């Protein structure tokens, strides 16, 4: 499937657009990163892509069909959302949490059956945590919770998953663990839109990068094209240097002016 | 820790509740031994008076206790899930205060049992309708609903105060005070039949809908991303929970704590999944109130108001549970 945003704008308050004419497109197997400072419109863009918010102008479409023409249930079968980690109120088990992803496939009074539970097992297997199935979601680590939410998106049957800052609150090993799973699932045919504050991760995992500055697309393209010292300065209002490690991986090093003596 | 526990909880709970139900029918202050009462109940022998006592007084009262207990516990479980807050029950939506105002109003005009029941039901619904209306206008977010509920409760509490203040202190005020303490001694078939009907319909709805209730414990955006129409669903579920509480309170008066404590015990037993939590809460709530009401009408020469008894037992239970919750949460950080 192709998920495409064309010229999308969004205003919470009339006349004050937080997104202005943003376009983005990805097909199966691709990972798109959305970078930008706090308040640059990353989360709003994700909500427009998931259909939870209707763009004030512009169109989001799935295989050419505008999202607005789909029912919420149809939408949820194409596009899954992996929200930021938050404290759940109740101790659902991992399997129960992933099973919630079956909602768009079940009628109002229907209960999930053995078929749905088998799908849950496959989703947990795909992210490598089938062994935690009966653990309480509240008792596992942040990285594991993130994997549960990805598995929920897979159980949902969504081809495209939208992830809001999956690396936030996670140590480097877990960040790369999650993003490695993302990359692997993308190889298997899923597509991902990932918001992030880490350009380094975009270099490592993204097929395309959209860099938002105050709600507009400052640059959009392959990571090396979209993330430059110039675009980073525009995005974050400070100087960066882009360096290349011995493995060939690029990384962003902030340029901190030395403290003036005295 | 794995959470596979509790799959068989209902196999323990249902027979236990049924046994309590039977015990409640055969014990009482009427001076016969339980075994005689049991034989009379089965029609083996015994006096007509005894049969009439059991079928016309104890049976409706025990069924009333079961309905009230199940309704309060199930709606408590549902509302706690919906508000993502384990400390919520029907009180936060203004149901109790609305019902109490309706009953006080009817009693201040010396209305009969039907008037008390009818008005308390109507005002319970009216209170929540007001809360839901305010909530809907501001996005039906849990915080808005809770604040609106507290405000509406306070309003009705003030009106109850006003009625008590102007009520005739010799004839009307005691009736109002007694009703507010809660109790099931006035249970009769005539007033109970509609209650049973509403209870069966309401509980069936929540049993059928139980899996979806899991989804309503998610944030609005998260639930919407799973294809749910969150706001209408919240309002329907709040409406159904309200009807269950209102119909319960209309025959029982103020009975606190059941709606708060029972769901916690049930959750600790069967886990958070509403597919098991709803039936477990229903049976545990019914059993708890049957048990408490049996104690209320048997241990002392005169009846203990049920609202007082549930408070005396409920408050320590609540404190224990709360402290356990705090300790287990503390251990996670």
| Of B1, B215, B228, Cβ closest to residue A72 | B228
Nearest CA in chain B to A161: B225
Say whether A109 and B4 touch across the interface (CB within 8 A).
no
Cα angle B68, B73, B76 (rounded to 5 degrees) comes to: 125
Q: What is the pLDDT of residue A173?
A: 92
Say whether B226 and A89 touch across the interface (CB within 8 A).
no
Q: Model ipTM? A: 0.88
b/e burial code for range A7-19 (CB count within 10 A of at least 16 → b): ebbbbeeeeebbb
Mean pLDDT comparison of A182-186, A245-249, B183-187, B188-192, highest-scoring range:
A182-186
Contacts of B211 in chain A (CB under 8 A): 106, 110-112
| Residue B332 scores a pLDDT above 50 | no
Q: What is the pLDDT of residue A256?
A: 83
* Tokens at B318, concatenated: 């609540």
Please state, rounded to an integer, the average pLDDT across all residues of chain A: 93
* pLDDT tens-digit map of A164-209: 999 888 899 999 999 999 999 999 999 999 999 999 999 999 999 9
Report CA torsion sign: A233, A236, A239, A241: negative
Contacts of B219 in chain A (CB under 8 A): 83, 86
b/e burial code for range A170-183 (CB count within 10 A of at least 16 → b): beeebbbbbbebbb
Distance (Å) from the alpha carbon of B321 to chain A's nearest alpha carbon: 15
Domains detected in chain A: 2-254 (3.40.50.300)
Chosen from A71, A81, A90 to mutate, greatest number of chain B CBs within 10 A: A90
Nearest CA in chain A to B84: A89
Place of tokens 């001694």: B185
Please state, rounded to an integer, the average pLDDT across all residues of chain B: 86
Chosen from B226, B237, B264, B267 to mutate, greatest number of chain A CBs within 10 A: B226
Q: How far apart are CA B169 and CA B182, in angstroms?
A: 19
| Residue B126 scores a pLDDT above 90 | yes
* pLDDT tens-digit map of B229-276: 988 898 899 899 999 999 999 999 888 788 988 998 888 888 899 999
CB atoms within 10 A of CB A85: 17
Chosen from B85, B210, B214, B225 to mutate, greatest number of chain A CBs within 10 A: B225
Nearest CA in chain A to B333: A139
Say whether B275 and A92 touch across the interface (CB within 8 A).
no
Chosen from A50, A84, A96 to mutate, greatest number of chain B CBs within 10 A: A96
Chosen from B1, B213, B227, B328 to mutate, greatest number of chain A CBs within 10 A: B227
Interface of B with A (CB under 8 A): 1-4, 81, 84-86, 208-212, 214-215, 217-219, 221-222, 224-229, 267, 271-273, 275, 332
Q: What is the pLDDT of residue B140?
A: 65
| Of B85, B208, B222, Cβ closest to residue A83 | B222
| Of A108, A112, A156, Cβ closest to residue B226 | A156
Q: How far apart are CA B196 and CA B71, in angstroms?
A: 10
Q: What is the pLDDT of residue B30?
A: 74
Q: Does A47 touch chain B (CB under 8 A)?
A: yes
Mean pLDDT for the stretch of residues B188-197: 91
Going from the C-alpha of A105 to that of each of A62, A111, A112, B93, the distances in angstroms are 18, 10, 9, 32
Q: Does A72 touch chain B (CB under 8 A)?
A: yes
Q: What is the pLDDT of residue A212?
A: 96
| Residue B5 scores a pLDDT above 80 | no
Q: Picking from A236-240, A250-254, B224-228, B252-256, which range would have the lowest pLDDT averaged per residue? A: B252-256
Say whether A100 and B226 touch across the interface (CB within 8 A).
yes
- Cβ neighbours of residue B307 closer than 8 Å, sequence gap 6 or more: B180, B181, B182, B183, B253, B254, B255, B256
Say whether B267 and A93 touch across the interface (CB within 8 A).
no
Contacts of A161 in chain B (CB under 8 A): none
* pLDDT tens-digit map of A27-84: 999 999 999 999 999 999 999 999 989 999 999 999 999 999 999 999 999 999 999 8
Q: Picking from A185-189, B32-36, B185-189, B292-296, which range would have the lowest pLDDT averaged per residue? A: B32-36
| Residue A132 scores a pLDDT above 90 | yes
| Of A111, A135, A139, Cβ closest to residue B332 | A139
Contacts of B208 in chain A (CB under 8 A): 109
b/e burial code for range B174-212 (CB count within 10 A of at least 16 → b): ebbebbbbbbbebbeeebbebbbebbeebbebbeebbbb
Mean pLDDT for the stretch of residues B72-85: 92
Q: How far apart are CA A219 and CA B328, in angstroms?
A: 48
Q: What is the pLDDT of residue B330?
A: 46
Q: How far apart are CA A189 and CA B92, in angstroms?
A: 48
Contacts of B217 in chain A (CB under 8 A): 88-90, 92
Contacts of A83 in chain B (CB under 8 A): 219, 221-222, 225
Distance (Å) from the alpha carbon of A106 to chain B's nearest alpha carbon: 10
Contacts of A103 in chain B (CB under 8 A): 212, 215, 226-228
* pLDDT tens-digit map of B302-316: 888 888 888 888 778
Distance (Å) from the alpha carbon of B73 to chain A's nearest alpha carbon: 17
Structure confidence at residue B17 as a pLDDT band (50, 70, 90): very high
Q: What is the pLDDT of residue B329?
A: 52
Q: How far apart are CA A137 and CA B89, in angstroms?
A: 24
CB atoms within 10 A of CB A69: 10
| Residue B280 scores a pLDDT above 90 | yes
Domains detected in chain B: 69-298+306-319 (1.10.3470.10)
Contacts of B270 in chain A (CB under 8 A): none
Q: Does A100 touch chain B (CB under 8 A)?
A: yes
Q: How far apart are CA A145 and CA A86, in angstroms?
A: 9
């Amino acid at each position: 499937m192709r998920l495409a945003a064309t010229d999308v704008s969004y205003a919470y308050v009339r006349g004050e657009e937080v997104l202005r004419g943003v376009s983005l497109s990805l097909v199966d197997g691709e990972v798109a990163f959305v970078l930008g400072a706090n308040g640059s419109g990353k989360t709003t863009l994700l909500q427009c892509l998931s259909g939870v918010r209707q763009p004030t102008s512009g169109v989001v479409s799935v295989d050419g069909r505008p999202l607005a023409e789909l029912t919420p249930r149809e939408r949820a079968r194409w596009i899954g959302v992996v929200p930021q980690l938050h404290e759940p109120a109740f101790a659902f088990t991992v399997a129960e949490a992933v099973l919630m992803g079956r909602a768009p496939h079940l009628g109002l009074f229907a209960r999930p059956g053995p078929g749905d539970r088998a799908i849950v097992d496959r989703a947990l297997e795909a992210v490598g945590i089938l062994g935690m199935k009966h653990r309480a979601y509240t008792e596992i680590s942040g990285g594991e919770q993130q994997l549960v939410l990805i598995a929920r998106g897979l159980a949902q049957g969504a081809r495209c998953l939208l992830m809001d800052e999956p690396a936030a609150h996670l140590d480097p090993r877990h960040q790369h663990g999650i993003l490695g799973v993302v990359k692997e699932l993308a190889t298997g045919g899923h597509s991902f839109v990932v918001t992030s504050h880490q350009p380094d991760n975009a270099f490592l995992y993204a097929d395309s990068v959209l860099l938002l500055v105050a709600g507009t697309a400052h640059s959009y393209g392959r990571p090396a094209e979209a993330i430059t010292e110039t675009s980073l300065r525009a995005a974050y209002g400070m100087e960066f240097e882009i360096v290349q490690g011995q493995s060939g991986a690029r990384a962003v090093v902030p340029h901190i002016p030395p403290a003036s003596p005295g | 820790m794995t959470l596979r526990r509790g799959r068989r909880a209902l196999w323990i709970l249902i027979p236990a509740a049924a046994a309590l139900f039977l015990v409640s029918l055969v014990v009482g202050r009427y001076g016969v031994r339980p075994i005689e009462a049991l034989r009379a109940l089965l029609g083996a022998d015994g006096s007509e008076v005894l049969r009439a006592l059991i079928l016309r007084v104890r049976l409706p009262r025990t069924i009333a206790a079961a309905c009230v207990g199940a309704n309060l516990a199930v709606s408590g479980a549902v509302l706690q899930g919906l508000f993502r807050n384990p400390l919520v029950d029907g009180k936060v939506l203004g149901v109790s205060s609305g019902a109490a105002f309706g009953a006080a109003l009817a009693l201040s005009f010396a209305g009969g049992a039907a008037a008390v029941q009818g008005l308390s039901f109507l005002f319970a619904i009216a209170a929540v309708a007001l809360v839901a209306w305010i909530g809907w206008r501001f996005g039906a977010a849990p915080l808005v609903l809770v604040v609106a509920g507290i405000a509406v409760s306070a309003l009705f509490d003030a009106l109850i105060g006003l009625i008590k203040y102007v009520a005739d202190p010799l004839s009307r005020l005691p009736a109002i005070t007694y009703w507010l303490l809660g109790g099931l001694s006035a249970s009769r078939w005539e007033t109970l039949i509609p209650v049973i009907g509403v209870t069966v319909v309401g509980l069936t709805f929540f049993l059928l809908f139980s899996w979806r209730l899991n989804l309503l414990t998610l944030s609005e955006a998260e639930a919407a991303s799973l294809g749910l129409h969150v706001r209408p669903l919240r309002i329907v579920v709040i409406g159904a929970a309200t009807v269950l509480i209102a119909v319960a309170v209309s025959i029982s008066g103020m009975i606190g704590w059941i709606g708060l404590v029972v769901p916690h015990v049930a959750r600790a037993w069967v886990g958070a999944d509403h597919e098991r939590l709803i039936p477990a809460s229903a049976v545990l709530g019914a059993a708890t109130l049957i048990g408490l009401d049996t104690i209320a009408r048997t241990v002392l020469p005169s009846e203990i108001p049920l609202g007082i008894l549930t408070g005396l037992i409920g408050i320590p239970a609540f404190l224990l549970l709360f402290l356990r919750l705090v300790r287990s949460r503390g251990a996670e950080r």
